[in-house]
Structure 1
């Protein structure tokens, strides 16, 4: 369905959506997960996975521009046909039915274990899914306008915590390099390549809503947004390492722990609430975007005229999954940091690169035929 230009997103709104999607919940969860395996060289793991994400983003933008700004499902149909598109879409749907409940379960587990220990997690999960469903049904334009404000709040609060914690930093904690060889660095890169950098390929369902359909300004803004997100995540990892050293990997919510040790002039201290706001804001935006993408994939596959028909059913199913998929925090950690990166890189990445290669060959064949 062709959208009017006024219903599409401008460059700033799409940039904020990209930042929200890439940074989102990872701003709190990534420092711990990477530092646990890569230790003092976590920053190098981040750089490697960031480079992988650039390749993914390049392929997504190439396909977007080569096919006149249509979505992943639509250009899949033109490249490999309807049958294979349905076949390849199934793992994407299953991935999103894992990741969406995972993001929300992460918020609920954090709040019920750290902040409000007497409140069961399903209360938080239900509220988040309800608000996310209302947000997605209001339309991508309204969602993007709201995220412009929320992204600013999330980034400002995160940077404020990192700056206020400067007295606690010790750069010597960044040494030694490669104390356990290259393997832990690659393991850390594997985790962060899947969460969050490799997830960029799913954002191809959002690009059709940008005004201009692949004009250079929108392309540059996507690289800028990705670079900003990567820089903030890298800075968060480095700052947590300098504050806690080898203990960073043992702190489940290291950014929250960093806020708890801030003490300036005896009256600025215990500012964990700032991190809580950043976590809830980032995770909520990530959940909304995942819900929006999953809804768009299913609407495109089923050919529905009303794009809001499936939002509530998807939210309800995802809520049930968030309450049943992760029986313990240890199981949540294993699935999110092992199963999810593997799925993103070897299934999502393979689908994206396959479509990019097919598109490139078809484009070359058309060019050769035109010259002949």
Structure 2
């Protein structure tokens, strides 16, 4: 099978949609209260050097994904052990995001429809997308992002009458400690979750592409997350933003222009699911590529369906309710994920630098 190649622009689009993913629905940085928008800015700043580590790892081995790089750097045994950890992370994150959107639809729309129906429907679409490959996903993402950005812009403009600057005043009233907690949460969810692209980005054009893709994706995606969070805070206030399960939906539901433009949250919510679709697809693809590498399979596409079905099963039992889901996302996930998002990547890059003479001039190992 010929190697898939995506442009830098397509890579950026994928990262942007991934970052937006479930973040637009659930919000982030809530630990900082009314200063959550400041926490998001700090989270973006903290994320930049970490994402450059991801880019450096990929740039050292052009045309290779993280699973191949791990075996090159650490040898087959240790490399496969670390690959198993990242395979689990990809699978687990895909399950969590799948459940996020299942809970969202069941909570705000299809109240009497079993959540399993929503999860199965979304998972089938993701299985189809992954089987078709990253080139197809990238082309679809380009169209979707344009539509999504237009809808986000229109929604913010329509919400202007509901905004009140006093809802974020006074700034820094609680000091910097809550901001650092919120920044850590925002860093982990969603910015550092882009470690997933190290698992699937073996299709970029050249060694400079990872830097362009990660930088562009972080700047654009981070800006969208920041603007939406700032808007939600101005519309909802601190209590509603931090306590509601889906603050974006609640904010959009307040749009009422002359009794003509109403109930627009349904259209916006459907559009937001485009980001969730890409995020689940990247996680599913990463998990399948990890299994392919660990077990020496010929093509990850052969196992997309069974892995997707396993995601469906686990997503139905992983939480008891939506409150448990939000508690995990904001209170446990950052500490659970830091090993995969920060500690292991730093160790990998250090080992690469120590052994760089072995890889210099060969673009990695075969």
TM-score under structure 1 length normalisation: 0.91
TM-score under structure 2 length normalisation: 0.93
Relative to structure 2, which stretch is displaced further, 224-233 or 75-84? 75-84
Aligned equivalent of 1:237: 229
Aligned equivalent of 1:56: 50
Change (3 A) 1:365 1:205: closer
- Name the CA distance, whole Å, in 1 between partners of 2:182 and 2:244: 16
1:100 aligned residue (94, 99, 111): 94
Aligned equivalent of 1:34: 29
SS at match of 2:299: coil
- Name the CA distance, whole Å, in 2 between partners of 1:361 and 1:167: 57
Q: How many equivalent residue pairs?
A: 359
Q: Which runs of 5+ in 2 are unaligned?
A: 361-366
- Name the CA distance, whole Å, in 1 between partners of 2:249 and 2:270: 11
SS at match of 2:207: coil
* Superposition pairs of residues 31-180 of structure 1, within 5 angstroms: 33-35=28-30, 37-180=31-174
Is residue 2:218 matched to residue 1:223?
Answer: no
| Per-residue deviation, residues 126-178 of structure 1 (Å, max 9, x unmatched) | 11111111111112111211111122222221222112101111222222233
Relative to structure 2, which stretch is displaced further, 286-295 or 358-367? 358-367
Contact kept, 8 Å, 1:19 with 1:225, in 2: the verdict is yes
Q: Which runs of 5+ in 1 are unaligned?
A: 368-372
SS at match of 2:171: coil
Contact kept, 8 Å, 1:255 with 1:275, in 2: the verdict is no
RMSD of aligned alpha carbons: 1.9
- Name the CA distance, whole Å, in 1 between partners of 2:344 and 2:214: 21
Contact kept, 8 Å, 1:93 with 1:297, in 2: the verdict is yes
1:280 aligned residue (268, 273, 276): 273
**Offset at residue 63 of structure 1 (A):** 1.3
Is residue 2:356 matched to residue 1:332?
Answer: no
Aligned equivalent of 1:370: none
Is residue 2:12 matched to residue 1:19?
Answer: no
- Name the CA distance, whole Å, in 1 between partners of 2:274 and 2:97: 12
| Per-residue deviation, residues 176-209 of structure 1 (Å, max 9, x unmatched) | 2332232221221121111101112221122211
- Name the CA distance, whole Å, in 1 between partners of 2:91 and 2:255: 38
Contact kept, 8 Å, 2:91 with 2:283, in 1: the verdict is no
* Superposition pairs of residues 309-320 of structure 1, within 5 angstroms: 309-320=302-313
